[in-house]
Amino acid sequence: MARLAAVLVAAAVAFCWAAAAADALGMNWGTQAFHPLPPKVVVQLLQDNGIKKVKLFETEFGTMSALAGSGIEVMVAIPNVMLADLAGSSRAAKDWVKRNVERYDFDGGVSIKYVAVGNEPFLEAYNGSFIHTTFPALQNVQNALNDAGIGDRIKATVPLNADVYNSPPSNPVPSAGRFRSDIAGIMTDIVKLLAKNNAPFTVNIYPFLSLYLNDNFPLDYAFFDGGATPVNDNGVLYTNVFDANFDTLVAALKAVGHGEMPVVVGEVGWPTDGDKHAKSSYAERFYAGLLKRLAAGTGTPARPNTPIEMYLFGLLDEDAKSVAPGSFERHWGIFRYDGQPKFAMDLTGQGRNAMLVPAKGVKYLPRTWCGLNPNAKDMSKLGANIDYACSRADCTALGYGSTCNGMDTAGNATYAFNAYYQVQSQEDSACDFNGLALPTTTDPSTATCNFTIQIVTGKAASGRSGVAVVFLALLQILALW
């Protein structure tokens, strides 16, 4: 009997941890796709998989309307390009809050919890473009939330890249973490403002990028399942880069007097294509370890047994994203562009070998591809036409180390022509390329390379009811008051 009681207690504890993990887990929902899934389909996808939090990068009306009444907790966002206007005018901040927060904040509306003021505005790649506008914009937005009477439950924060803090080369351990010297003053001001308003610090942590940016980075240190040589920080052993990175931030917060500030991981994930390390097998390994730790409430050495609120990046692949940081940028989704899961994944962290629930009601274009015309006479302009197609569609899977790398010229041409053809919704004129291409009903896909058939977008795919249309119209009118 005692043994049975112990088993029941253990099961109850495991259930509680799993429930806590589900509550702490969210998704980044990006929409930079040529044929995005209809918002209602995506919201159903979130609900079917028990995902209770979502982080957006814009407050697009259709997306927000689809989230209304769903019960899903939302972090809405302000793009970096708006920071200057919001920094320079409290009136502009109040107007933004009215149109993008208050507009949806009602019983049965959108459950907004955070406002993300900018996105990684202090990236060194921006050359200081947002250094002088981020803090005043954050201040004005939080004041606007407070003035609207909702600042006690809706907090403004700034999702920051992990490069805003570091440890000195002379002592490269987490406990020596400090904010980057060129922005230390601004970071201190931001932290104090967050603390004053009981708002969290939001950070994006990407172990994949540690591997991508440094060929000498130890592979196993990017994961959670052991095998890496630990980093010894005065007797504290760090066996993975996520923990080390997170605790470097904790040390930096402590150095400015706020070591107990809550931290939200705004983005964490692993891409599945576009680089030699961007593989589904690695993504599955990474998420399995991360979710297991989240479910167990392991925390990190600096904050042991402390669940971490985090948003996986990302929900869906985005084939229209910029590839300036790398071709992998279009392949972060745990779901493909059409809402189909890529690999086994148990969001509860219990390690079950199960697939996520796929998107429902997805409508595809006809099963027609565009391929190289085998009877084409003049191939002298083939390269130029491939370049044209890839400049207007996603060909990142053809790159070195990617899933479609290594095909012959005909395969590369067919992939490029088809990618463009699908982006153009299979318009007849989009499969010609000066006589080099022809439509085909034979699928050219291989065991490793998928030749896409795009989804139907627009009114034909949305399936909105008359009630929904009236509801949207009502929200539009309310926004003008």
- Predicted confidence (pLDDT) per residue in 387-400, tens digit: 999 999 999 999 99
Asked if the model's pLDDT at residue 18 lies above 50, the reply is no
- % of the chain exceeding 90 in pLDDT: 89
Pairing relation of β-strands 25-29 and 53-56?
Answer: parallel
Strand partners, 309: 264
E-strand ranges in 313-399 read 369-372
**Residues in contact with 381: Cβ distance below 8 Å, sequence separation at least 6, in sequence order:** 434, 436
Strands 437-440 and 369-372: antiparallel
Q: Which residues are catalytic?
A: 120, 267
Q: Assign 185 to helix, strand or coil.
A: helix
DSSP string spanning 400-426? Answer: TTSTTTT--HHHHHHHHHHHHHHHTTT
pLDDT tens by residue, 71-108: 999 999 999 999 999 999 999 999 999 999 999 999 99
What would the pLDDT profile of 271-329 be if each residue is shown by its tens digit?
A: 999 999 999 999 999 999 999 999 999 999 999 999 999 999 999 999 999 999 999 99
Confidence of residue 465 (pLDDT cuts 50, 70, 90): very low
* pTM: predicted TM-score of the whole model, two decimal places: 0.91
Q: Is the peptide bond before 269 cis (omega within 30 degrees of 0)?
A: no
144-172 residue pLDDT tens: 999 999 999 999 999 999 999 999 999 99
State which H helix or E strand residue 202 sits in: strand 201-204
Token couple for 387: 């370049």
Residue type, 364: Y
H/E stretch holding 386 reads helix 382-391
